[in-house]
Amino acid sequence: MTIVFKVSDKLKSKMVTYYEDKKRMKTPPYAVFQADDADTIITLYESGKVMFQGISADIDAKMWAEMEEKLTGKKINIYETEKKREKSKIERKEWQSKSTIGSDEVGTGDYFGPIVVTASFVSKNDADFVEQLGVRDSKVLTDEKIKEIAPVLIKKIPYCTYILNNKDYNKYQNMGYNMNKIKAILHNKVLVEMKKRCPDYEAIVVDQFVYPKKYFEHIKEATEKVTNIDFTPKAESLCSSVAVSSCISRYIFLQKMDELSKEIGMPLLKGASESVDKEAAKIVNTFGEEKLTEIAKLNFKNTEKLQKYL
């Protein structure tokens, strides 16, 4: 069961305190925290949206919905999410009846580590295999689960990955490219390749991170372009090939983070929290500022904030 609703700032602060000792080390992009409470995974996002996942999701969600009503008078129907989820199941079945190419990326919310973009081809004959393997958006899977299923996917499913290291990312930034332009360029690269390798696809699906018109503006200088794209919000939960790409991208990202951690002699933190600021300051003190160019995204606010720890 998955339940999502938006909470007030008052309730956000109470949730942060309540789950302090239950937080996971890994924080999904744009999340304040992710925590485990018995059979429920709770993820609170900066936007105020909170997601409850698991067998007891409705019990935990109801507790916080009632507290929200006491604090602000706002009534929350926690079961509205279930209706949306049923609709999502129907849409997912429609995608499963088609052979699709889908792409997704990870690393865009992490100060350390590269951006990894993958496109994969899931034929309608492989849709059940992917479903039974438990493939979902990598943001809702643990790193342990990713490490378990991604190697199986890599052996079975055709895919193409592009890894943008931080040195090149910082060059793009210096050229005036924003994150969405960089993502569009990388998605186009892997989609061009997969379209050549797997011409029998019936649809190309990308999780919509920008309006289609802007996406095509971002890639207008590319020599080869893929333009027959279905841009779909929450595509990773609706389309198997996007979910597969999300998992493979995350798996490769974790490998690259391990390599960088060994290189500098300390485990690099994921995300962009205050703990990351402190670790970045430690790296600067040990290796000098130039090292950040190789392992960090310098345009993130962490680069400014780390100064107070030097």
With 50 as the cut, is the pLDDT of residue 72 above it?
Answer: yes
**pLDDT of 87:** 45
pLDDT at position 81, please?
52
Task: Assess whether pLDDT exceeds 50 at residue 137.
Answer: yes
pLDDT at 274 over 60: yes
Q: What is the pLDDT of residue 194?
A: 97
**Token couple for 302:** 């962490």
- Work out the average pLDDT over 18-36: 82
Mean pLDDT, the chain, as a whole number? 88
> Which residue has better confidence, 125 or 161?
161
71-85, 94-108, 158-172, 188-202: the lowest-pLDDT one = 71-85
Alpha carbon dihedral 243, 199, 99, 151, in 10-degree steps, equals -40
CA distance 176 to 181: 10
Per-residue pLDDT, 23 = 85
Banded pLDDT at 103 (limits 50, 70, 90): very high
Residue 90: what pLDDT?
41
> Are 51 and 2 contacting, i.e. CB atoms less than 8 angstroms apart?
yes
Q: Determine if the pTM surpasses 0.75.
A: no
Distance CA 221, CA 215 (A): 12
- Percent of the chain exceeding pLDDT 70 equals 93
Residue 224, phi then psi, degrees to nearest 5: -120, 140
* Pairing verdict, β 203-207 and 100-106: parallel
Residue 33 near residue 16 (C-beta atoms within 8 A)? yes
pLDDT of residue 210: 84
Please, which pLDDT band fits residue 31 given cuts at 50, 70 and 90?
A: confident
What average pLDDT does range 92-117 have in this prediction? 87
Average pLDDT of 78-89?
52
- Return the pLDDT at 177: 94
Please list, in sequence order, all residues whose beta carbon lies within 8 angstroms of the beta carbon of residue 165, skipping any fewer than 6 positions away: 114, 294
